[in-house]
Amino acid sequence: MPTETFEFQVEARQLLQLMIHSVYSNKDVFLRELVSNASDALDKLRLAALRDDTPDVDVSDLHIELDVDKEARTLAVRDNGIGMSYEEVTHLIGTIANSGTAKFLQELREAKDAAGADGLIGQFGVGFYSAFMVADEVTLVTRRAGETQGTRWTSRGEGTYTLERVDEAPQGTTVTLHLKPADSENQLHDYTSTWKIKEIVKRYSDFITWPIRLLPEAGDDGAEGDEGGTDAREAETLNSMKALWARPRTEVSDDEYHELYKHISHDWRDPLETIRLQAEGTFEYQALLFVPSHAPHDLFTQGYQRGVQLYVKRVFIMDDCEELLPPYLRFVKGVVDAQDLSLNVSREILQQDRHIRMIQRRLTKKVLSTVKDLMSGAPERYATFWREFGAVLKEGLVTDAENRDAILAASSFATTHDADEPTTLKDYVERMKDGQEHIYFMTGESRQAMESSPHMEAFRAKGVEVLLLTDAVDEVWADAVGEYEGKQLRSVAKGEIDLGGAQDEKSDAEKDAQGEEYAGLLGWMTEHLDEDVKEVRLSSRLTVSPACVVSDANELTPALENMYRAMGQ
């Protein structure tokens, strides 16, 4: 079949331009991306073999191979994993299927510094294209396990790529980079240096569970003339292949944990927190969880891939295993390695499995207690956590009654008490005035809008603290939770407000007299506002404004009305 030339999609072209004129501060990571893809491909093949999907494939020596040719200035990354069909190459490599890419490009343009750009690129998973940071031409030859014909893809990254079918292709994938001329000022960027390659693999990919072998340069060992090529050369394995989650914490450095996090999360920034958990006994498992330092852009969208990776006895089973954590912890990344599950475990089985539910309960409690500990032990990190994930965590107040107290204990809220420091409910209750019976909150678009709301007047006048809540979920959880330590959560915008002992008492007689005095006015107003309001009544909640609109105690508050309206209901 002839070689055909294709054009990259507009978005892919933009992305490639970014790679070629690299925005990355750290180009070394291209190798991490290629090794990571190779590792994924090996995982997939092993799983297929275990499930008998590709019975005629040799899986006895699955590995990744790095092959440097100084003369030709090439670096090849080879794996004997699952490979790709012709169609897969066009879909996965030739285009950018990911619909988030346009958004990515936009955010990238807005990112001011290189560090911001790095983080973004990681989040959007554009790994393969990073090869163009260091290469002026990339060739990919691949053959899918079980298929006879292979595919060659090649591109200089400048608008077009070529595709052709090839008869002689080993099963798996080889990505060959023709490296750009070495940075003359800076030897650190010479990727034909075996020293450099070793260093990068050790730093970024040590925990990869497949051997990453570096072939000695052709000719080094006098193997010249040997047609068999690679087998005759003694390869050196560069990585230790140790599963980090199975090693004692004291033996693993923070950097190693962070690299694993980056590998599984596609985030290039360090995580905020690393959580390790070992369960022994009848149902044994190890978990290594990470709380990211930034909320991903699509956390609140429907298609968000949640869940942690599931391994069974060191064998990768699936990404995004949703059953291992509740939806409100969907930002947590990590690995769970269970000893006693079947390798054939399916989603359906997982949903029913008692042990999986046990793991979920335990992981949930552990994450919540970790957040609580951050609150007291590392206030700045807690503040970051809360800024990024508070709105998600609060969903749990509605959906997870069992852990409600633990979630509340790890939650904080903006308050009129202090413009900068949020408060816990516990601290709020401790500050409550004598005679104040309820916990008051207000929901709205912004702190500023709420502070200038007439609803706030009486509270300000009496010095009664009010929580200022701005997330859509705030309405819902307050209703669901109802009370905290016997104190009801009350919206300042709902029903009649009685600040009780916290406010000057008016006698009933006084109230009656007032009522008579204003009866005419109130009646007149009720008549004229008939279409818009249910009732006009005298209020003690205002000190300066002449009037304000309130909802019935059991009606939707304005913010919740907005939320439901936004949801089209």
Give the binding site for ligand ADP (CB under 6 A): 33, 37-38, 41, 79, 81-84, 92-93, 125-128, 173, 266
Selection from Mg ion, ligand ADP, none that 132 binds (CB < 5 to 8 A by kind) is none
Residue (79 or 395) nearer to ligand ADP, CB = 79
Q: Are 287 and 334 spatial neighbours (Cβ–Cβ below 8 Å)?
A: yes
Residue (95 or 293) nearer to ligand ADP, CB = 95
Selection from ligand ADP, Mg ion, none that 38 binds (CB < 5 to 8 A by kind) is ligand ADP
Minimum distance from CB of 91 to ligand ADP (Å)? Answer: 9
CA 293 to chain centroid, in Å, comes to 9
Selection from ligand ADP, Mg ion, none that 59 binds (CB < 5 to 8 A by kind) is none
Residue (57 or 287) nearer to ligand ADP, CB = 57
CA distances from 112 to 23, 115, 118, 271, 488 (A): 11, 9, 11, 21, 46
User: For residue 33, which of 94, 161, 124 has the smallest C-alpha distance?
Assistant: 124
Q: What b/e readout covers 459-475, taking b as 16+ CB neighbours within 10 angstroms?
A: beeeebbbbbbbbbbbb
Minimum distance from CB of 115 to ligand ADP (Å)? Answer: 20
Residue (125 or 146) nearer to ligand ADP, CB = 125
Selection from ligand ADP, Mg ion, none that 41 binds (CB < 5 to 8 A by kind) is ligand ADP
Residue (37 or 74) nearer to Mg ion, CB = 37
Residue (81 or 292) nearer to ligand ADP, CB = 81
Q: Are 322 and 52 spatial neighbours (Cβ–Cβ below 8 Å)?
A: no
Q: In this structure, which amino acid lies at residue 86?
A: Y
Minimum distance from CB of 150 to ligand ADP (Å)? Answer: 12
Minimum distance from CB of 201 to ligand ADP (Å)? Answer: 16
Residue (108 or 414) nearer to ligand ADP, CB = 108
Specify the 3-state DSSP secondary structure of 279. strand
Name the residue whose CB lies closest to ligand ADP: 127
Minimum distance from CB of 140 to Mg ion (Å)? Answer: 13
CA 199 to chain centroid, in Å, comes to 28
Residue (130 or 364) nearer to Mg ion, CB = 130
Selection from ligand ADP, Mg ion, none that 118 binds (CB < 5 to 8 A by kind) is none
**Which alpha helices (H) appear in 308-352, and where do they start and end?**
347-352
Which positions ≥6 away from 114 have C-beta within 8 Å? Answer: 23, 24, 25
CA distances from 449 to 138, 333, 340, 424, 455 (A): 55, 36, 55, 22, 11
Selection from Mg ion, ligand ADP, none that 126 binds (CB < 5 to 8 A by kind) is ligand ADP
Name the residue whose CB lies closest to Mg ion: 127
Selection from Mg ion, ligand ADP, none that 330 binds (CB < 5 to 8 A by kind) is none
Minimum distance from CB of 337 to ligand ADP (Å)? Answer: 21
Selection from ligand ADP, Mg ion, none that 474 binds (CB < 5 to 8 A by kind) is none
Minimum distance from CB of 29 to ligand ADP (Å)? Answer: 12
Q: Are 21 and 173 spatial neighbours (Cβ–Cβ below 8 Å)?
A: no
Residue (174 or 443) nearer to ligand ADP, CB = 174
Only one residue has tokens 């990112």, namely 111
Residue (10 or 519) nearer to ligand ADP, CB = 10
Selection from Mg ion, ligand ADP, none that 81 binds (CB < 5 to 8 A by kind) is ligand ADP
User: For residue 426, which of 443, 446, 401, 406 has the smallest C-alpha distance?
Assistant: 406
Selection from ligand ADP, Mg ion, none that 94 binds (CB < 5 to 8 A by kind) is none
User: For residue 75, which of 28, 5, 19 has the smallest C-alpha distance?
Assistant: 28
Interface residues toward Mg ion, by CB under 5 A: 37, 127
Minimum distance from CB of 17 to Mg ion (Å)? Answer: 20
DSSP3 helix / strand / coil % (the chain, rounded to 5): 40, 20, 40
Selection from Mg ion, ligand ADP, none that 200 binds (CB < 5 to 8 A by kind) is none
Phi, psi of 211 (to 5 degrees): -65, 135
**Cα–Cα distance measured from residue 346 to residue 318, given in angstroms and rounded to the nearest whole number:** 9
Residue (175 or 375) nearer to Mg ion, CB = 175
Minimum distance from CB of 299 to ligand ADP (Å)? Answer: 18
**Cα–Cα distance measured from residue 558 to residue 565, given in angstroms and rounded to the nearest whole number:** 10
User: For residue 461, which of 540, 536, 529 has the smallest C-alpha distance?
Assistant: 540
H or E segment and range at residue 64: strand 64-69
Minimum distance from CB of 81 to ligand ADP (Å)? Answer: 5
Minimum distance from CB of 175 to ligand ADP (Å)? Answer: 7
Neighbours of 515 (CB within 10 A): 12
